Amino acid sequence: MTISFKVSENTKEELINYFEDKKRIKTPPYAIFQADEEDTVVTLYESGKVVFQGVSADIDANMWKQRERYLNPNVQIKEKNSENKEKKEINIDPKIYNSSAIGSDEVGTGDYFGPIVVTASFVSKENIPFLESLGVKDSKKMTDEKILEVVPKLIKKIPYHSIILHNKEYNEKYSNDINMNKIKAILHNKALFEMKSKGFSYDYIIVDEFAQKYVYFNYLKDIPNVVRDITFLTKGEDKSLAVATSSLISRYIFIKEFIKLGESVNTKLPKGASNLVDDVAFKIAQEYGFEKLSELVKLNFKNTDKVKEKMNGV
């Protein structure tokens, strides 16, 4: 499968930062880089066109489409898909959508500032109309303001378990042997285990797929209490209200934590990993010191090198 679309400059910058450590040595003509992301080959061209090729191309392309929409809500994305020249309709299985399910999703993995938040929630089939009335079915279209309004109503009815991995702990865990996806797998498993242990009567446990099944479970090979009866779904937010609910709760918690972080340094923090993020991080390091900055950011991002270069140049 091959999927391509054009991204804006700020998304282009985030792609460059994200794939810095995954780049191939050889680069195609007119390309900024070509990199490997699990089962997907990603190529970014100088024009801003980004191409995803491989078994999991749709998963990775969808992640970056979401990022482009978030950063540039007024820009229309024109996608080309080798399997279908027009954007395919999402195939929703009514049996899964209308079931009682435990689902999990995460936010914060593409942001230099702010924690990673993983949530697992239980949605009974009886609560599906309630969630649809709140607009959870279209969760990707919700603004931060709408999320702050909706989620407090949602969590009064929906059981959930959230895990917040603050960046200080993330920086301690991250290494050559423990990458971002492994950390995500461990957090998802922990949240799912907690929800499963509560004894809910469910039909499915659903994870919004970020790695192929065998890769996901390989990440957990040394972890106790592995939840194995999982259904992995691409575009899980659209296909399962349990996943969509978990996404909203994670985003709600992330927004709250993000605001608190900014207040701790009297700064309005930008999301993502763009040049603007570099500038703000540098100012924080100047005023509060690099040690304080390291508590707010994910140090393995390339933004850290840029901040250090600026500090050394002062």
Q: Domain residues of the chain, as ranges?
A: 2-81, 94-260, 265-313
Q: How far, in Å, CA of 192 to CA of 312, rounded? A: 44
Q: Please give the class, per CATH, of domain 2-81.
A: alpha beta
What band does 314 get if pLDDT is binned at 50, 70 and 90?
low
Q: pLDDT tens digits for 73-93?
A: 888 888 888 765 444 567 889
Task: Tell which CATH classification among 3.30.565.10, 3.60.20.10, 3.40.50.620, 3.30.420.10 matches the domain 94-260.
Answer: 3.30.420.10
Q: Does residue 221 sit in helix, strand or coil?
A: coil
Q: How far, in Å, CA of 168 to CA of 115, rounded? A: 9
How many other CB atoms are there within 10 angstroms of residue 179's CB atom? 15
* Among 136, 94, 113, CA closest to 247: 136
Q: How far, in Å, CA of 58 to CA of 56, rounded? A: 6
Distance of CA 144 to the CA centre of its chain: 15
Q: Does residue 266 sit in helix, strand or coil?
A: coil
Q: pLDDT tens digits for 215-224?
A: 999 999 999 9
Average per-residue pLDDT in the chain? 91
pLDDT over 70 at 139, yes or no: no
pTM above 0.85, yes or no: no
